[in-house]
Amino acid sequence: MRDGWAKDAGSNTVSNTVSNTALDAALDAASTDTARSGDAAARGEIRRHPGSPFTVEPWCVRETELDLNTLAQSESVFALSNGHIGLRGNLDEGDPHGLPGTYLNSVYEIRPLPYAEAGYGYPESGQTIINVTNGKLIRLLVDDEPLDVRYGTLHSHERVLDMRAGTLFRDMTWTSPADDTVRVRSTRLVSLTQRAVAAICYEVEPIGKPLRLVVQSALVANESLPQPGKDPRVAAALESPLVCEEHVARRAGVIMVHRTKVSGLRVAAGMDHVIDSPAPTAVEVESTEDVGRVTIACVLRPGERLRLVKFVAYGWSSQRSRPALHDQVVAALAGAKRTGWEGLLAEQRAFLDEFWAGADVEIEGDDEVQQAVRFGLFHILQAGARAERRPIAAKGLTGTGYDGHTFWDTESFVLPVLTYTRPSAAADVLRWRQMTLPLAAERARQLGLPGAAFPWRTIRGQECSGYWPAGTAAFHIGADIADAVLRYVDATEDVRFERETGLELLVQTARLWRGLGHYDAQGRFRIDGVTGPDEYSALADNNVYTNLMAQRNLRGAADVAERHPDVAADLDVTPTEIESWRQAADSMYIPYDELRQVHPQSEGFTDHAVWDFEQTKPDQYPLLLNFPYFDLYRKQVVKQADLVLAMHVCGEAFTFEQKVRNFAYYEPITVRDSSLSAGTQAVIAAEVGHLELAHDYLGEAALTDLHDLHRNTRDGLHMASLAGGWIAAVQGFGGMRASRGRLDFAPRLPSAITRLAFRVRYRGRLIRVTVTPQEAVYELVEGEPYEIGHHGERFILGPREVRRPIPPAPHHPRPAQPPGREPRRRGAVQEAGS
């Protein structure tokens, strides 16, 4: 079909149909190298996710045809990152696209946060991640016809995200409107070993007859972007945010240096190339303020292949000079070229081999979840591997959702995964939090509080959230950061980190709680007027999660200060202050509803009217888009796990019977309008015996983006929900708990999962746990013998594996969820009473 694109009825799926018999033969002859493009997919042997463009495979995510309706989702799913550089999975030629995206961690522009009425302490400006210089672009002209999949005929199109190789592979065959056919293959990576480097191997060959081919490799700044929203102020801030300071064309490369208009950050980008062609090539290089271009022209016969390796490097700084950044990019390109394309591939594979050896989760019985949990682990690694004292945003570096901000999600969901799989990445995020302590202390002073008040959402450490009760009063983020410190130190015994980073974070957050709370007439330490994890409740008194986490924060600060009195003295910590922390922790008020025999989410919560779920229509979820917040705040309706999260993170504060009753109480009022909820609900469901329900929630957490469950994956991946897949598998079905040097497991499986195996790192050891319905097998892969627990039994795990039987799960009736908010059932057998 010419001058348009062939589509399936009612869709924007580009057709893969080939009608010319001669062309069929030519394509067959040109397709002998099919190992990387997937023979099994071509034979139709790979199952596809229902309603999703992706196939179900254990170690990759494959898209076997190009659907323009899901292009933006695919760009997020196929994003590559190393925590410093992020490249959305845009097509090589740039068009069509859902959202172009090239990001550098913490490169942002400032935009105003206006209010209808001013208020003391309201943040006046926000920070928004920007699309920096795009180095992914490689355009192809076939006898003067630009390759654009919307025109001519696209015979085949496949993309594969390989989670063991760390690459995005693309294979396509296209005929232009002038009946010229080419096969194009590209492989893209963002280096996990060379922090500043990305690379693309681009190959093109003619099919059927000789063709004149022109490849244009580009660097483009200030790309045109889709409208970011209804607020024109946001659009104005992001429209052409980069001002050119330098552009240089040299040999087969270009260097460009820009500065952001308002935030004043300097960004450098460069590209260089290695060209391999059996025919003579003409090469031209040019640069302007916003475009650098290398053009390669040649004539190839069928069977000949032009191969272009493009090396791209980035650097940025708020302080370093233009020449320094220029030289950094030149050096990074030189290092990448010295390594070469094959060397970069080998380094990437070796890095990932080491990671998977210590982090893989194997699930038998649910192929979709197996793939999704690995997909989540891969993206969590990408988000933090080379962040190096920079934050991990809620969307990582996969899209512009939430303006690229980091929230409490990082410490509470992402860092637990990294702590037990790649602990150095967790430490780097916490070092970034320490770097922002002066800003957090300044914010606390503005609020009339001691210590440090960390921002609800930020990129560089300043509060970027306009006033909002569910965010402004969510002081629990300080305790979440402290909890991440305590977890990391417990898992690694990193004394240097504890002294140089951990203690200061613990002290300043403990000081906040001591100033925020007060003693009542009964001698109870209360924390009033705060918001817990549930954003459908705000300005509540004595939120159980917040108070328990503050209690842990206060005790942890006291313990660490006493272990390192010299460092504590440098922070002006006195014995009297330490005693005040312990007294507040010991007197912390934890509300309990004696009448209903459950813990209220916050004081008085269980006395509120229950939301009218029966009259709430399915299309009125999420509730925040259809009902006023004031109504949500005064009703019993829960956006995301709050009290249930408290039972997960602070499980020692609850008896088993309380967990059973609490979980049964909160399930019918939790609507999961947040992607943060399902992973936590899975953990507690598994602990109290609802194994089939836990499996359902595991699937929801892990498949959030592959199934686009919230219909917003186009804006970037949900990092915390992806982490929730690991959390649900390891801490839910594996029953893993770790604290104060004690490592315990209480594994049980749902009916459909026949085997679960996972690996965790703890105190210099690598432990592998394999679970079947009948028994658990514990193996010490690395390190010295260590005492661990299995369903309450303690034993020393040494060189020989240890096998233990799994006791039956307790039986309770399956709790109901709000009408229409039940998770999709995954298991074949349901619980008794369901």
Q: What CA–CA distance (Å, rounded) separates 290 from 315? A: 17
Burial grade of 665 (CB within 10 A; 0-12, 13-18, 19 or more):
buried
472 vs 438: CA distance, rounded Å = 19
Residue 588 DSSP code: B
The total number of residues written for the chain in this structure: 834
Cis preceding linkage at 622, omega within 30: yes
Pairing of strands 361-364, 755-762: antiparallel
Residue with tokens 């893969």: 16
Q: Is 442 a catalytic residue?
A: no
> Which entry of 535, 577, 687, 700 is annotated as an active-site residue?
535
The Cα 109–Cα 104 span in angstroms is 12
Measured from the Cβ of residue 737, the count of other Cβ atoms closer than 10 Å reads 17
CA pair distance 368, 365, nearest whole angstrom: 9
Q: Among 431, 429, 436, 432, which Cα is nearest to 463's?
A: 436
Give the number of C-alpha atoms closer than 13 A to the C-alpha of residue 476, restricted to the C-beta side: 31
Q: What residues have CB less than 8 Å from 334, skipping those under 6 apart?
A: none
3-state secondary structure of 69: helix
Query: Which residue ranges make up the annotated binding site for substrate?
Result: 408-409, 639-640
Number of C-alpha atoms within 13 angstroms, CB side, residue 582? 11
The number of beta carbons lying within 10 Å of the beta carbon of residue 230 is 7
Burial bucket for residue 22 (CB in 10 Å: 0-12, 13-18, 19+): exposed
Strands 737-739 and 742-745 come out as antiparallel
What is the 3-state composition of the chain as percent helix, strand, coil, each rounded to the nearest 5? 35, 25, 40
Cite the DSSP H helix spans in 634-717: 643-649, 656-666, 677-688, 691-702
Q: Which residues are annotated as a binding site?
A: 408-409, 639-640
Residue environment code for 532-549, b if the CB has 16+ CB neighbours within 10 A, otherwise e = bbbbbbbebbbbbbbbbb
Q: What's the rounded Cα separation, in Å, for the pair 41 and 626? A: 42
* 499 DSSP 8-state letter: I
Of 323, 326, 306, 325, residue with least CA distance to 253: 326
- The three-class DSSP label of residue 384 is helix
- Would you state the structure tokens that stand for residue 572, as one six-digit string? 């002006």
Residue 300 near residue 213, CB atoms below 8 Å:
yes
Which residues are marked as active site? 535
